[in-house]
Amino acid sequence: MSLTYLDAICEAQAHALRDDPRVFIYGQDVGAFGGAFKATKNLAKDFPGRVIDSPISEDAMVGLAVGAAIEGMRPIIEMQFADFSTVGFNQIVNQAATLFWRTNISCPITVRLPFGGTSGGGPFHSQSLETIYAHYPGLIVLTPATVEDAYSMLLEAVAIDDPVIFCEHKFLYRHLKAEKLPSEALPIGKARIAREGRDLTIVAYSAMVQDALEAAGELATEGWEVEVVDLRSVKPLDTDTVMASVARTGKLLAVGESWPWGGVTAEVIARVTSEGYGLLDAPPQRLNAKDTPVPYHPNLWAAHRPTVRSIGAAARKILRH
């Protein structure tokens, strides 16, 4: 048996529905159809009345989830694409994210965002929105990079009492495979050393972890030992693991698929330089997508985001410092 990242997401939801009667799923086409990406395949059949098609109303979808959470449920909301969550943005950041702080009543909702670029996706089906959600207080923002993490982090997301933005990368959906689902996992909030090395730390998350690992593999053939840190969750962000890695390597490259202004790469560099300044023996560097919407044509798309090649090039520049 081999499972994809997408299978893992579907399995985690089945598991959550099975184990916890408070869980339900609400979103466009998630019912009998099984979702635009088939992330809820068979779930409506297996869990009657608990996997429910919503109207095309992202604002009301999130609002309903918050109300249900107040009532003790643990709803999972599927956005058809992360890009459309901008229409439900207000309910996420001002309703869900503030509820516990204002009222002491927790808000255990999980908002699943199929996100990130795929060839031909274009400007409105490719966005990476972890930054805008991580900026708001009260949200947990997860960015699993492996099949195992897609499974275990989604399970944990549903169990967490706070609202979770679960960023699942569309490119990884069918691209990544694993032999079996994990029975244990790092807790959320802990980053993972995806590859050990002592010459340079590459900090990445989600699909970029795979590209960083590939780049690290290429650099190994040139004699460089590159360490890759998979953040796993961008909020909270595990500064300790990043700093410990930088303490070993002395060099830092932060890589993200989202736009260049602000975001995870800026946050990582700001933390490392302000809290662990002495650890670095070269200027930290960052690599992000270009500062335009995500292009449709494959040629443009491939040039817009960081790639194995551009990560390798940036790494070499630092290594030769």
Partner 1 sequence: MLQTVSEPRGGQVEAVPEAHLLAYRFMLRARLLDEKFAALYRAGKIHGGVFLGRGQEALSAALGINLTKSDVFAPLIRDGAGRLAFGETIVDAVRTYMGSSLGPMRGRDGNVHRGNPQAGYLPMISHLGAMVSVVNGVLFARRMKGITGIVGATCLGDGATSTGAFHEALNQAAVEKLPLILVVADNQYAYSTPTSRQFACESLADRAAGYGIAGHSVDGTDLTACLKTVGMAVASARAGKGPQLVVAKLLRLCGHGEHDDASYIDPKYKTSALGRDCLKVAEEKILQQKWTDAAQIAVWRSEAIREIEEAVAQVQREPAPDPFAEEWTALSTKRLIEGNA
Ligand X SMILES: Cc1ncc(C[n+]2csc(CCOP(=O)(O)OP(=O)(O)O)c2C)c(N)n1
Residue closer to ligand X, measured from CB, 80 or 241: 80
Residue 269 CA to residue 255 CA, distance in Å, equals: 11
> What is the rounded CA–CA span in Å between residue 145 and residue 224?
23
Q: At what angle do helices 239-249 and 264-275 cross, to 10 degrees?
A: 70
Residue 283 sits in the site that holds partner 1 (CB under 8 A):
no
Are 153 and 190 in contact by the 8 Å Cβ rule? The answer is: no
Assess whether 125 carries a catalytic annotation. yes
- Phi, psi at residue 29, to the nearest 5°? 65, 20
Q: Which of 14, 220, 302, 308 binds partner 1 (CB under 8 A)?
A: 302
Cβ distance 85 to 113 under 8 Å? Answer: yes
265 binds a copy of itself (CB under 8 A): yes
Find where tokens 């995870």 sit.
264
Q: Binding to ligand X by residue 52, rule CB under 6 A? A: no
Residues 79-98 that bind ligand X (CB under 6 A): 80, 84, 87
**Considering CB distances under 5 to 8 angstroms, the limit depending on partner class, which of ligand X, partner 1, a copy of itself, none binds residue 245?**
none
Helix (H, G, I), strand (E, B) or coil at 312: helix
What sign has the CA pseudo-torsion 86, 164, 53, 105?
A: negative
Structure token pair of residue 296: 């449709």
Interface region with partner 1, contact rule CB under 8 A, candidates 24-32, 176-184, 195-203, 309-317: 24-32
39 with 11: CB under 8 angstroms?
no
Site residues for partner 1, 91-120, by CB under 8 A, read: 91, 94-95, 97-107, 119-120
Angle subtended at Cα 165 by Cα 57 and Cα 122, rounded to the nearest 5 degrees = 65
| CB-nearer residue toward partner 1: 21 or 283 | 21
The residue within the footprint of a copy of itself, chosen from 105, 292, 298, 309 (CB under 8 A), is 292
Out of 18, 45, 72, 317, the only residue in the binding site for partner 1 (CB under 8 A) is: 72
Shortest distance, CB of residue 235 to a copy of itself, whole angstroms? 6
Please pick, from the candidates 41, 125, 170, 286, the single residue that binds partner 1 as defined by CB under 8 A. 125
Secondary structure (3-state) at 63: helix
Please state, as a whole number, how many other Cβ atoms lie within 10 Å of the Cβ of residue 60.
13
Residue ranges that bind ligand X, judged by CB under 6 A: 28, 56, 58, 80, 84, 87
Q: Which residues are catalytic?
A: 125
Residue ranges that bind a copy of itself, judged by CB under 8 A: 83, 86-87, 89-90, 93-94, 97-98, 101-102, 123-124, 131-132, 134-138, 235, 237, 258-259, 261-267, 269-270, 273-275, 277-278, 280, 282-286, 290-293
